[in-house]
Amino acid sequence: MSEHSLQSSQTIGIPLTHVVPSALEQDDLLLVAASKNGDQEAFAQLVQRYQRIVFNLVYRMLQHYEEATEITQETFLAAWQGLPSFRGDARFPTWLYRIAYNFSLKQLELRKRDRALQIALEAEKTLEQANDQQREDAELDAHDRRMLIQEHLSHLPSKYRIVLVLRHLQDMTYEEMAEILTMPIGTIKTHLFRARNLLKERIQSIYRDSDTG
């Protein structure tokens, strides 16, 4: 899978709260109000501001570049159409994330229904190849382990994947995640713990295999 990545200085591991300080929040409110009145230029500014973080969230959920592009478009289109119902109870990016997450889930459901989908098969094949490769190796280096985590991440249940993406790729707090996913903080914590445990156990099992093999 090709990574269309940027320089590390542009990594997304910056807290969203830092990316969007209060001045920007105020600006968001103005742009949202203008967009509600049909101002497409104002909405284009919101798209410009949030398309990267939305795209990355969707991409990490779907692990497929073209699908992520399509779902990001769907997300913003739904946001535009749903603007009249946006009352400003949550921050605009939080609301946007929620839409993006729901669309990603829908897309994953569609994939599930269509078992013959090429992407799923390819992803599975890649994972098996990666596992075999890793077992053959006496030692795992950092790069391999990262690749492995990436592969395992794409095979975790979506409820676990989303909390890992939000927590470690978007550096969100439990409270922010709870708001986006409309779940109690306790559930967020449980999902996060299980998700990290699963990743850890998989890495450990590969370590064990490479030690015994």
Residue among 19 and 105 whose Cβ is closer to other proteins: 19
Count of residues of this chain found to bind other proteins when the rule CB under 8 A is applied: 48
Angle (CA) 112-183-55 rounded to 5° is 55
Sign of CA dihedral 55, 57, 60, 62: negative
| Residue 67 identity | E
For residue 95, how many C-alpha atoms fall within 13 Å in the half-sphere facing its CB?
20
User: Smallest gap, in angstroms, from Cβ of residue 86 to other proteins?
Assistant: 15
Q: Other C-beta atoms within 10 Å of 170: how many?
A: 22
Binding mask 123-162 for other proteins (x = CB under 8 A): -------------------x--xx--xx--x---------
- Between 114 and 133, whose beta carbon lies closer to other proteins? 133
- What are the two backbone dihedrals, phi and then psi, of residue 54, each rounded to the nearest 5 degrees? -70, -45
Q: Please name the residues in contact with 178: beta carbons below 8 A apart, sequence gap of 6 or more.
A: 184, 185, 187, 188
Residue ranges in 69-108 that form contacts with other proteins under rule CB under 8 A: 69, 72-73, 76-77, 80-81
Choose which of 88, 200, 205, 208 interacts with other proteins (CB under 8 A).
Answer: 200
Q: Is 168 in the site for other proteins (CB under 8 A)?
A: yes
DSSP code per residue over 68-80: HHHHHHHHHHHHH
* Region of 25-33, 55-63, 89-97, 129-137 interacting with other proteins (CB under 8 A): 55-63
- Closest CA relative to residue 2, chosen from 45, 66, 57, 49: 66
Residue type at position 14: I
- Tokens describing residue 23: 């001045």
Stretch that binds other proteins, among 87-95, 98-106, 116-124, 188-196 (CB under 8 A): 188-196
Residues that bind other proteins (CB under 8 A): 3-6, 8, 10-13, 38, 40, 43-44, 47-48, 51-52, 55-56, 59-60, 65, 68-69, 72-73, 76-77, 80-81, 142, 145-146, 149-150, 153, 164, 167-169, 174, 192-193, 196, 199-200, 203-204
